[in-house]
């Protein structure tokens, strides 16, 4: 058990007590998340008494370093794959079982569902870039904040598109290669944005001068998602 999954032991112990043999699995996910450790609990049934029992333990779970668990039946999870292909796809692709057997056998994300979710994400990102720039009044400090704060979303979008194309996406270098070779984005702009997204300290990059090429990259990326048809 890793230090991150160890934070989920109190959650798993309590869920086993609350649900008994109705608890099918508890899995950790969200390895890029630096805060409380997220987990998914799949159960055979779920009612208000169960929720009340979990509510009574949630403060203790938070103190242990765990996030409030996501509680679903396996049927609900399976039926929601088309609604949450990005979120549930990442859980399926990168989870660690804490209790039970791996619960995702036979479950897959349909490429068309993931493409549609990526389109929504890409176009929303582009719309907000334009809107937030207008709201900034073009002031350098506010444009810098806009670029810095939105860069993680840009990185996440590249990761989701790489998954759609079954391309490596584990490291920033993988994303840079995918963005430039497959999508045709400007290499320097992508590198600078990934530096903002990945760095724990502020990179020495002029975010204000970066914004025009960032906007151009997002416009091209949105067009790429529109045209995507897979193999």
Chain segment 75-134, per-residue pLDDT in tens: 999 999 999 999 999 999 889 999 999 899 999 999 999 999 999 999 999 999 999 999
The torsion of the CA quartet 193, 215, 30, 80, rounded to 10 degrees, works out to -160
What's the pLDDT score for residue 5? 80
- The mean pLDDT value of the chain amounts to 93
User: Looking at the structure, do residues 140 and 209 belong to the same domain, yes or no?
Assistant: yes
User: Looking at the structure, do residues 44 and 117 belong to the same domain, yes or no?
Assistant: no
User: Looking at the structure, do residues 57 and 94 belong to the same domain, yes or no?
Assistant: yes
User: Looking at the structure, do residues 88 and 157 belong to the same domain, yes or no?
Assistant: no
Instruction: Give me the sheet containing 23-28, strands edge to edge.
Output: 70-73, 39-43, 23-28, 96-100
Looking at the whole model, is its pTM more than 0.85? Answer: yes
**130 domain residue, yes or no:** yes
pLDDT surpasses 70 at 33: no
**105 domain residue, yes or no:** no
**106 domain residue, yes or no:** no
**175 domain residue, yes or no:** yes
User: Looking at the structure, do residues 215 and 117 belong to the same domain, yes or no?
Assistant: yes
The single residue listed with the structure tokens 């409030």 is: 68
Where does a domain end: 55, 80, 100? 100
**54 domain residue, yes or no:** yes
Q: Is 100 left (phi over 0), alpha (psi -120 to 50) or beta?
A: left
**Which among 105, 109, 59, 67 is positioned nearest to 84, based on CA atoms?**
109
Q: Identify the domain containing residue 184 by its residue range.
A: 111-227
User: Looking at the structure, do residues 40 and 76 belong to the same domain, yes or no?
Assistant: yes
User: Looking at the structure, do residues 155 and 58 belong to the same domain, yes or no?
Assistant: no
Return the structure tokens found at 145: 């904040």
User: Looking at the structure, do residues 47 and 148 belong to the same domain, yes or no?
Assistant: no
pLDDT, one tens digit per residue, over 170-200 is 899 999 999 999 999 999 999 999 999 987 6
**205 domain residue, yes or no:** yes
pLDDT surpasses 60 at 231: no
> What is the distance between the alpha carbons of residues 104 and 123, in angstroms, rounded to a whole number?
30
3 or 179: which leads in pLDDT: 179
Q: What CATH number did the domain enclosing 10 receive? A: 3.30.460
> What is the distance between the alpha carbons of residues 120 and 115, in angstroms, rounded to a whole number?
9
User: Looking at the structure, do residues 126 and 193 belong to the same domain, yes or no?
Assistant: yes
Residue-wise DSSP of 89-121: HHHHHS-EEEEES-TTTT----HHHHHHHHHHH
User: Looking at the structure, do residues 59 and 136 belong to the same domain, yes or no?
Assistant: no
User: Looking at the structure, do residues 166 and 206 belong to the same domain, yes or no?
Assistant: yes
User: Looking at the structure, do residues 69 and 16 belong to the same domain, yes or no?
Assistant: yes
Q: How many domains does the chain have?
A: 2
Where does a domain end: 46, 81, 100? 100
**198 domain residue, yes or no:** yes
Residue-wise DSSP of the chain: --HHHHTTHHHHHHHHHHHGGGEEEEEE--TT--SSBPEEEEES---HHHHHHHHHHHHHHHHTTBPPPEEEEHHHHHHTTTTSHHHHHHHHHS-EEEEES-TTTT----HHHHHHHHHHHHHHHHHHHHHHHHHHTT-HHHHHHHHHHHHHHHHHHHHHHHHHTT---SSHHHHHHHIIIII---HHHHHHHHHHHH-SS--S--HHHHHHHHHHHHHHHHHHHHH----
Residues 6+ apart with CB under 8 A from 152: 197
């Amino acid at each position: 058990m890793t230090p991150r999954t160890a934070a989920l032991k109190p959650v798993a112990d309590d869920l086993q007590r609350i649900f008994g043999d109705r608890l099918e699995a508890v899995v950790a996910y969200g390895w890029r998340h630096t805060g409380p450790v997220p987990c998914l609990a799949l159960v055979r049934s779920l009612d208000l008494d169960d929720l009340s029992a979990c509510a009574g333990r949630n403060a203790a779970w938070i103190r242990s370093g765990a996030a409030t668990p996501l509680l679903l039946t396996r049927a609900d999870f399976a039926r929601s794959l088309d609604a949450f292909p990005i979120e549930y796809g990442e859980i399926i692709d990168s989870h660690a079982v804490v209790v039970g057997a791996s619960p995702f056998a036979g479950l897959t994300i349909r490429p068309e569902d993931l493409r549609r979710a990526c389109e929504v994400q890409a176009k929303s990102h582009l719309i907000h870039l334009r809107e937030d720039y207008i709201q900034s009044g073009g002031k350098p400090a506010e444009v810098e904040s806009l670029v810095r704060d939105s860069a993680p979303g840009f990185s996440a979008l590249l990761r989701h598109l790489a998954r759609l194309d079954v391309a490596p996406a584990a490291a920033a270098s993988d994303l840079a290669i995918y963005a430039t070779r497959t999508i045709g984005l400007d290499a320097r702009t992508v590198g600078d944005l990934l530096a903002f997204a990945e760095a724990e300290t502020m990179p020495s990059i002029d975010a204000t001068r970066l914004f025009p090429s960032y906007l151009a990259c997002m416009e091209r990326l949105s067009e790429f998602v529109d045209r995507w048809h897979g193999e």
